[in-house]
Chains A and B, each alone.
Chain A
Amino acid sequence: MTRSLSRRVALYLALLATGLLTLALTVIGYGAWRASTDLGAQLTQSFVEVRTFDETDALLRSGSYLSNRLFNPLYNLDVSLLNEEIEQIRSWLPVTDFLILDARRRVVTDGTPENRRYGQAVAIPPTVAPGSPVARTADNGTTLYFSIGFGEEIIGHAVIGLSDAASQRSMAELHAHSARLWTRLGTSLAYTAALALALVALVSFVLSWWLSRVLSRPLAEMTSAAQEFAAGNLERVLAVRSRDEVGELARSLNQMAADLKKSGELLARSQEIASLGSWEWLADADGLHLSAGACRVLGLGNQELRVPLARVLALVAAPDQDRLRAVFSGKPGPRGRCEVTLRRPDGVMRVIHLVGEPAGTQTAAGRNVGTLQDVTERREYEQRLRYLANYDVLTGLPNRNLFRERLRQAMRQADRHGGQVALLFLDLDRFKAINDALGHVVGDELLEAVAHRLREIAGEEDRVARLGGDEFTVILADPGSAEQAAAVSERLLGAIARPFQLAGRELVVSGSIGVTLYPRDARDLTALLRNADAAMYLAKEQGRNTYRFFTAELDRKAHARLSLEHSLRRAIARREFELHYQPQVRLADARMIGAEALLRWRSPEGLVQPGLFVPALEETGLITELTPWVLAQACAFAGACRSDGLDGFRVAVNLSARQFQEARLLPLVARVLSASGLPPEALEIEITESTLLDHDQSLHNAEGLTGLGVRLSLDDFGTGYSSLAYLKRYAVDCLKVDRSFIRDILVERDDALITGAVVALAKRLDMEVIAEGVETVAQLAVLRDLGCDHVQGHLFSPALAPEELRRWAQARTLVRVA
């Protein structure tokens, strides 16, 4: 077919060229014929006119000459000489007839030996006279009449018939020449046409060959390649022989094949990854055509197969065979699907998801196509997700989500049967400390062990749940009485109290349990959980390792805490907080070196003590919202004090663990210092030891603050782990002896020793020591004896409002000066 394309194109061009050539030759031939015809006619006309004119003129002018020449012979009747004269004149002129007449106008001679017209009378035009020849034109030429005489004496006449045969011959010759030219032109045109046709044929042949070479052959190759591509052979690469559209097409086909191959590989790989395959069911053979992916899924190899349907059905259990057959045969409907578990030939069980639909139009029964996919992992994952959504990974106990579901179920059941539900909320005592001290791994092991013991006590697995951290719940629904709850609580505490063998050591822990009853204490789940939580805190407050029931008082406190949180949020919004400052005095010269900033809440009801709202701020996390403001206020105040002449004045700001663990802390401090113009060493950040423990951000911030030049102070030193490693690791500038040691320093020898040891340790580590809570002169004296550097406490001043402190400082300066 593609061969015929080139031939067809060549044929069309040949026909076109032939047509144009024929037209051109016809036009040329017609034009030449027309021109030659017109020119011939014009030439003939012109020639005749010119020749006739010339000859007549010549004859008339020669009449007199001939008259004289013929006079003597005629006079002498010298016929021979007359004949010679006639013969001579015939050699000059195209004479047809030459008659010489005597005076009686009878023929003397006609110039021939026979002289047949001798004696005949001939008419002479009357106008003929000596010197006046007459020429008359006839059909076949011109007749010249003249007299022969001498002077006025006429001895005869001459009649000369002049033929225009020469003209006719010339005309005939002209026409013959014209005809020969025309014939030659026709022949030339014919030769030209033949040559041109041969040339057209040659060009057509060459064009056909060339088109075949540059178009048809590549197209045939591309057609073959396209068929091979369609058949799946994508390895073939077409030769790109040119840089034109054909070459571009070949290049595009190669690219298409490469893309198809890549896509096919990607599809195959995707199917392989997705464990996906396709199938085709043919009703007439009741067989399946399985793709390689489908074969892989079914464990039948890696090549496409045609297998009987029965072979695939045999892989599933009998109850699933009908469902499977239905999908393959399209019986469920246009788009059937099912999911079955099959045992592959290698014995592996897999879950297969099958989708099928009729091929082509829905009316074309007898052929269905579809996909099958190994969804085993997906189903396992989904199961795992469901498990993770409802169970605690660490302990295997139901998590908060499932707990709420279980509790809701128990509440409904209680509602239905008029019973009640007891909810036990257990929290391990000091678990955070254990976790911090021994590490998360040990903490997790402990939680697992605790969960195990709880499950042992609670019996049914789903009755125990872990809400998070070290918080566990137990739902008691039948009977759910207070007695049962108390008994179970005791058993649970007892189980927990037994030592745990973890990480090669024996660990003794305890727990606190809060108990609440449904519907007695609350009717909704959230309230019920809050009640249990409150009861648990009550147990902790009352000594830990015990359990407490929820009471009306607890309910009130819970509401109060909620109310406080609300009030604090409002206070932040209304900027009801302010900073007070307690002076810090250098023992050596009783000079104020700085002050500790302390947060105060001036609520609409009056000033609230820190112990009433700071814990709530820390617990709710609202404290972090105050960090920028606190730092800015403190730094601004220190700057003001320095401006007042308190050289070297520094301000100490307490930051809770939450505040200190904020990633924004370092840039915040840098920005505040820059804004206030306060030198970094005039700012001291007070943190507790536990803030630094195993918290990367805290450690990072501590190093960063030191890098900025900000002083770092350890608050409540001695009450925690007092890790000397931290003191060495971080450039702590100051140790702050907890007020609990100072309070009884005069009566408790240990407190005095500890204080002395802290002071000594600080000295050895080149740190400053400040004692807080100094209220008496005696305490001050002991501290001076111990070598303590600085003190703060009511002995000098309670925390004061900023302006009060500035006035206090000025007054104190005056006193000391005085």
Chain B
Amino acid sequence: MPIRRTLSCVLAALAGPVLALWVASVPAEVRIGVVNERPDRPDLALSQYGALHGWLEGRLASRGIALGRLVIAQSISEMIDRLRAGEVEAVIEGVVPTLRMEQQTGLLSPELVAWRKGQRQYTSVFFVRRDSPIQSLSDLAGRTIAFEAPRSTSAYFVPWAALLEHGLAVRPLADQPAPDAVSYVFAGSELNQGYWVHQGRADAGAFNDGDWERTPAHLRADLRIIATTRPLLRWLFSLRTDLDPAVRAAILEELSRAHEDSAGREALETAERIARFEPLTTEDREGIEHWRHIIGRMPEEP
């Protein structure tokens, strides 16, 4: 046993540095990945994040860190594959997709929260026509609700999760709404959700509170909120867990200070109206942990 222990110690001694080297490997270049919000517009992501990528590339270069080309994935699953393949070192994405990629790869760690479209965090609201008899989530059983899109966090995943938490079954709309569940359809956009509810194509809709504010006033006047969800951070910047600490620190530092110079602010604004990046607070991490728990209970694909 002593031999085994000794051998184990030797192996452990040898394995430590090797593992450390393996875990904290330094890539030839750091690659940032984004998921294109519009698969039909491949250039959208590039137009959104190109400026920020370029700015960061310049900043990191002065630190001796090379920034690789922007990796644009057409879906979360693709991004997961790229993470697994080691082709991506950082990801900018919403909370739910980030946590899903985290859970499925074990290689991602949320690091920064972004002020996006004027919001650091948001809640999703459930709305119906003002003249609708629906008063609460419970009244939605046997009704149809309009979500935005399968990828949407605030207008699909979060309300879906809230409905589930509320004990309602949620299914895609078949020919007829299921009497015991809430049938959902995708309107394609938050704006469409409002019109669909107003036009009667759906009985209710759900999106984040910012979208509610952006809904045309006269349309909004004909609608009514029946429920709101728990707050959710607006947008996250995550890094691979095995990224070199110095590189990690350098990237986080640059992004956290990006709003301090004009070029950085302009690049942030282009990237989906981001105002700044901030490190995650404890409260933020608690919230993330909450949603990590919910996602853990969710089926793979809503």
Instruction: Tell me the complex Cα distance, A156–B47, Å.
Output: 34
Q: Are B188 and A114 in contact (CB under 8 A)?
A: no
3 interchain residue pairs of minimum CB distance: A80-B189, A115-B216, A80-B191
CB pair A113–B214 under 8 Å, yes or no, is yes
B216 x A113 contact (CB < 8 A): yes
A80 touches B192 (CB 8 A): yes
Report the separation of the CA atoms of residues A269 and B201 in the bound assembly, to the nearest whole angstrom. Answer: 146
Chain A CB within 8 A of B219 CB? yes
A79 to B197, CA, bound (A): 12
Contact B192 A116 (CB under 8 A): no
Assuming A77-B196, A77-B199, is B191 touching A114 (CB within 8 A)? no
Chain B: CB-nearest residue to A102 = B199
How many Å from the CB of B237 to the closest CB on chain A? 27
Contact with B along A443-487 (1 / 0, CB 8 A): 000000000000000000000000000000000000000000000
Contact call A77/B214, Cβ cutoff below 8 A? no
Contact B218 A78 (CB under 8 A): no
A79 to chain B, nearest CB (A): 5
Chain A interface helix/strand/loop/mixed: loop
A202 to chain B: closest CB distance in Å? 60
* Given A77-B195, A77-B196, 8 further pairs, Cβ under 8 A: A78-B187, A78-B189, A79-B191, A80-B189, A83-B191, A115-B218, A115-B219, A118-B219
B188 adjacent to A81 (CB under 8 Å): yes
The answer, among B188, B214, B217, for a CB contact under 8 Å with A78, is B188
Q: How far is the CA of A118 from the CA of B195 in the complex (A)?
A: 10
**Nearest residue in B to A119 (C-beta to C-beta)?**
B218
- CB neighbors of B among A394-451 (8 A): none
Residues of A within 8 A of B189 (CB): 78-81
* Binary interface encoding of chain B residues 77-104 relative to chain A, with 1 for a CB under 8 A from any of its CBs, else 0: 0000000000000000000000000000
Rounded to whole angstroms, the CA-CA distance of A119 and B218 in the bound complex is 10
- Give 1 or 0 for each of B188-223: 1 = CB within 8 Å of chain A CB: 110110011001010000000000001011110000
Does A76 reach chain B (CB closer than 8 Å)?
Answer: yes
B188:A118 contact, CB within 8 angstroms: no
CB neighbours of A81 from chain B (8 A)? 188-189
Residue from A77, A78, A79 whose CB has the most chain B CB atoms within 10 Å: A79
Which A residues are in CB contact (< 8 Å) with B214?
113
Contact (Cβ within 8 A) A79 B195: yes
Chain B proximity of A51: nearest CB distance (Å) = 34
Complex Cα–Cα for A113 and B216 (A) = 6
Q: Which of A56-85 contact B (CB under 8 A)?
A: 76-81, 83
Count residues of chain A with CB under 8 A from any CB of chain B.
14
Least distance between A73 CB and chain B CB atoms (Å): 9
Q: Is the CB of A79 within 8 A of B192?
A: yes
A83-B191, A113-B214 known; A77 vs B201 contact (CB < 8 Å): yes
- Whether B216 pairs with A76 at a CB distance below 8 angstroms is no
Interface mask (B173-189 → A, CB under 8 Å = 1, otherwise 0): 00000000000000111
Shortest beta-carbon distance from A113 to chain B in Å: 7
Q: Size of chain B's interface in residues, with CB distance under 8 A?
A: 14
Distance, CA A113 to CA B194, complexed state (A): 12
Interfacial chain A residues near B191, Cβ < 8 Å: 79-80, 83, 113
Q: Which residue of A lies closest to B190 (CB)?
A: A80
Tell me, rounded to whole Å, the shortest Cβ–Cβ distance linking B128 to chain A.
17
Which chain A positions have C-beta within 8 A of B201? 77
Docked complex Cα distance between A119 and B221 (Å): 13
Contact status B218-A118, CB under 8 Å: yes
Instruction: Name the one of A76, A108, A115, A116 contacting B188, with C-beta atoms under 8 angstroms.
Output: A76
B200 to chain A, nearest CB (A): 10
Q: How far is the CA of A455 from the CA of B53 in the complex (A)?
A: 172
Tell me the A108-142 residues at the B interface (CB within 8 Å).
108, 113-116, 118-119
CA of A8 to CA of B22, assembled, Å: 109
With both beta carbons as reference points, the residue of chain A lying nearest to B215 in the complex is identified as A113
- The interface residues of chain A lying within 8 Å CB-to-CB of B195 are 77, 79, 108
Q: Do residues A114 and B192 form an inter-chain contact, with CB atoms below 8 A?
A: no
Q: Which residue of B lies closest to A112 (CB)?
A: B216
Bound complex: CA of A116 vs CA of B219, how far in Å? 9
Chain A residues within an 8 Å CB radius of B218: 114-116, 118-119
Which A residues are CB-close (under 8 A) to B217? 114
Q: Using CB atoms, name the residue of chain A closest to B201.
A: A77
A464 to B65, CA, bound (A): 174
Nearest chain B CB to A22 CB, angstrom units: 60
Contact (Cβ within 8 A) B216 A77: no
A-chain residues with CB within 8 Å of residue B216 when the two chains form the complex? 113-116, 118
Chain B residues positioned under 8 Å from A115 (CB to CB)? 216, 218-219
Interface centre among B191, B214, B218 (most CB of A within 10 A): B191
Interface string of A81-109 (1 = CB under 8 A from B): 10100000000000000000000000010
Cα(A112)–Cα(B195), bound, Å: 14
Q: In the bound complex, how far is the Cα of B195 from the Cα of A113, in angstroms?
A: 12
Smallest CB–CB gap between A86 and chain B, Å? Answer: 13
B17 to chain A, nearest CB (A): 55
Nearest CB in chain B to that of A115: its residue: B216
Q: Which parts of B144-192 form the interface with A (CB within 8 Å)?
A: 187-189, 191-192
Give the distance to chain B from A114, nearest Cβ to Cβ, in Å: 5
Docked CA distance A585–B187 (Å) = 195
| Alpha-carbon gap, A398 to B236, bound state (A) | 176
Distance, CA A114 to CA B189, complexed state (A): 15
Instruction: Report 27 cross-chain contacts, Cβ distance below 8 Å, ordered by A residue.
Output: A76-B188, A77-B187, A77-B192, A77-B195, A77-B196, A77-B199, A77-B201, A78-B188, A78-B192, A79-B189, A79-B191, A79-B195, A80-B188, A80-B189, A80-B191, A80-B192, A108-B195, A113-B191, A113-B216, A114-B216, A114-B217, A114-B218, A115-B216, A115-B218, A115-B219, A118-B216, A119-B218
Q: Chain B residues near A76: list those with CB within 8 A.
A: 188
A108: chain B residues within 8 A (beta carbon): 195
CA–CA, A81 to B38, complex, Å? Answer: 12
**A114 — nearest CB in chain B belongs to which residue?**
B216
Chain A residue nearest to B195 in the complex (CB): A79
CB distance from A781 to the nearest CB of B (A): 188
User: CA–CA, A81 to B196, complex, Å?
Assistant: 13
Alpha-carbon distance between A113 and B191 when the two chains are bound, in angstroms: 9
The complex places the Cα of A83 from the Cα of B187 at a distance, in Å, of 14
A78 CA to B201 CA, complexed, in Å: 11
Cα distance A107–B179 when bound, in Å?
33
Interface centre among A78, A83, A116 (most CB of B within 10 A): A78
Point out the residues of chain A lying under 8 angstroms from B219, CB to CB: 115, 118
Q: Measured between alpha carbons, how far is A153 from B233 in the docked complex, in Å?
A: 46
Which residues of B sit under 8 angstroms from A80, Cβ to Cβ? 188-189, 191-192
How far, in whole Å, are A348 and B260 apart by their CA atoms in the complex? 139
Closest to A81 in B: B188
Measured between beta carbons, the chain B residues less than 8 angstroms from A77 are: 187, 192, 195-196, 199, 201
User: Which residues of the other chain, B, contact A79 by a CB distance below 8 angstroms?
Assistant: 189, 191-192, 195
B53 CB to nearest A CB, Å: 25
Q: Cβ of B188: which chain A residues have Cβ within 8 Å of it?
A: 76, 78, 80-81
Q: How far is B191's CA from A114's CA once the two chains are assembled, in angstroms? A: 11
Within 8 A of A (CB), among B52-79: none
Q: How many angstroms from the CA of A386 to the CA of B187 in the assembled complex?
A: 167
For B189, the closest partner residue in chain A by CB is A80
Bound complex: CA A114 to CA B218 (Å): 8
Contact with B along A232-253 (1 / 0, CB 8 A): 0000000000000000000000
Closest-by-CB residue of A relative to B219 is: A118
Q: How far is the CA of A208 from the CA of B205 in the complex (A)?
A: 98
- CA of A389 to CA of B195 in the docked complex: distance in angstroms? 166
> In this complex, what residue of B is CB-closest to A109?
B195
Q: Which residues of chain B come closer than 8 Å to A114, judged between CB atoms? A: 216-218
Q: Kindly provide the distance from the CB of B113 to the nearest chain A CB, expressed in whole angstroms.
A: 27
Q: Chain A's nearest CB lies how many Å from the CB of B60?
A: 36
How many whole Å from B59's CB to the nearest CB in chain A? 35
Smallest Cβ-Cβ distance to B196: which chain A residue: A77
Rounded to whole angstroms, the CA-CA distance of A442 and B62 in the bound complex is 162
B211 nearest CB across to chain A (Å): 11
Count chain A CB atoms within 10 A of each CB in B195, B199, B218 and give the residue with the most.
B195
**In the complex, chain B residues whose CB is within 8 Å of the CB of A113:** 191, 214, 216
